[in-house]
Amino acid sequence: MKIRQIAEKTAKIFGCTAVLALVPAFAGEKSTAEPIGAEVSVGYDTDYMFRGANLGQDLLWSDVNVSTTLTDGLDLGVGAWYANVADDAGNDELDIYAGLSTSMGEMSVDLGATYYYYPDPEAADGTLEFGLGLGTSAGPFDLSLGIYYDIDLEAAYYEVGASTSFDLTDTMSVDVGGAIGDADGDSLTALTFTIGIPITLTDTASLSPYVGVNIPLDDYEDDGDDIFSGLSLTVGF
C-alpha cells in the first residue's frame, strides 16, 4: 500500500547510483555475487491515504520489486508501484523507485528516489523525489525518521514514526504503528495509526489485512478524521 514505512520502498536509477560513490566509505569488503530476490504484491485499500491526505476511495494497486546485495552490508532495491483510484477516472499513478540501504551501528540508513508519473495527459505532471530514512530500536519499538524532497514541486516532507510487533501464532502476528507528518517544516499534517495482522500462507506468500485511522492536524483539521482499511497479498521469489 502507499502508506509505506519510512525505510521501505523509497525513480530513476541515477537517483540511486549517484550515491554509489559513497559505497567504499561505509560498506564493508565486497562480497561474492548475491542472487536477486523479487516480490510481487497486489492490494485493495478503502481509501488512498498518502501523508495524511485522502486522495480518493477504492484504491487498487500492484507492486513489483527486486533486490540484491551489492557489497557486504549494502543492499539495492528497485521497483514499480501502479495504482488506480476507482472513484476518480483518469487518476492512475505509476511510481518508479530505487533505493540503497545499509546500517551504521544500531541505525539503519536508506537513501532513495521515487518518480511519480501520471499516465493521463490531463493529470498532474510527473515529479521526482529524493528521500532519506533513518531507523533504530528502543526496547520493543522500532523508531523511524523520514526526510523527503521533491525537486520538481520544491516541497519537503518530514515524518516520524514508531511501531511494534508481536506474534499471535506461528503464522500470524500483529503490527501496530503510528506516524506524524510535517509539510515543509511549517505545518503538521496528520497523526496516522494502523493495526495490521500479517498472515503467513506459505514460505513465499503472505496475506496482510489492516485497519487505520487518520487524524488531520493544524491547517488540515477541517478535512475530518478518516477510518480506512485494506488487504494485500505478497509473493516472493
**Predicted confidence (pLDDT) per residue in 86-124, tens digit:** 876 557 999 999 999 999 999 999 999 999 999 887 778
pLDDT value, residue 112 = 98
Question: 95: which strand partners?
Answer: 81, 116
**87/34 Cα distance (integer angstroms):** 43
Q: Write b or e for each residue in 191-200: b if 16 or more Cβ atoms lie within 10 A of its Cβ, otherwise e.
A: bbebebebee
Least confident of 118-132, 152-166, 180-194: 118-132
For the chain, where are the alpha helices, taking DSSP H only? 13-17, 23-26
79, 177, 104, 146 alpha-carbon torsion, rounded to 10°: 60
Cell numbers linked to 13: 536509477
Least confident of 72-76, 122-126, 231-235: 122-126
pLDDT value, residue 90 = 58
What distances in angstroms separate CA 90 from CA 94, 144, 181, one per listed residue? 12, 34, 28
pLDDT value, residue 13 = 31
Burial of 203 (0-12, 13-18, 19+ CB in 10 A): exposed
Residue entry with cell 485493495: 44
Checking 31-38 for CB contacts under 8 A at 24+ apart, the result is 31/69, 31/71, 31/72, 34/68, 34/69, 35/68, 36/66, 36/67, 36/68, 37/66, 37/67, 37/68, 37/236, 37/237, 38/64, 38/65, 38/66, 38/67, 38/236, 38/237
pLDDT value, residue 4 = 39
Mean pLDDT of the chain: 87
**pLDDT per position as a tens digit, 5-57:** 333 443 333 333 333 333 333 344 444 556 899 999 999 999 999 999 999 99
pLDDT more than 90, % of the chain: 73
pLDDT at 152 over 90: yes
Asked if 40 and 54 count as a contact pair (C-beta separation under 8 A), the reply is no
**225/53 Cα distance (integer angstroms):** 10
Return the domain boundaries, the chain: 13-236
For 223, which DSSP code? G
pLDDT more than 70, % of the chain: 84
Specify whether domain 13-236 bears CATH 2.40.160.40: yes
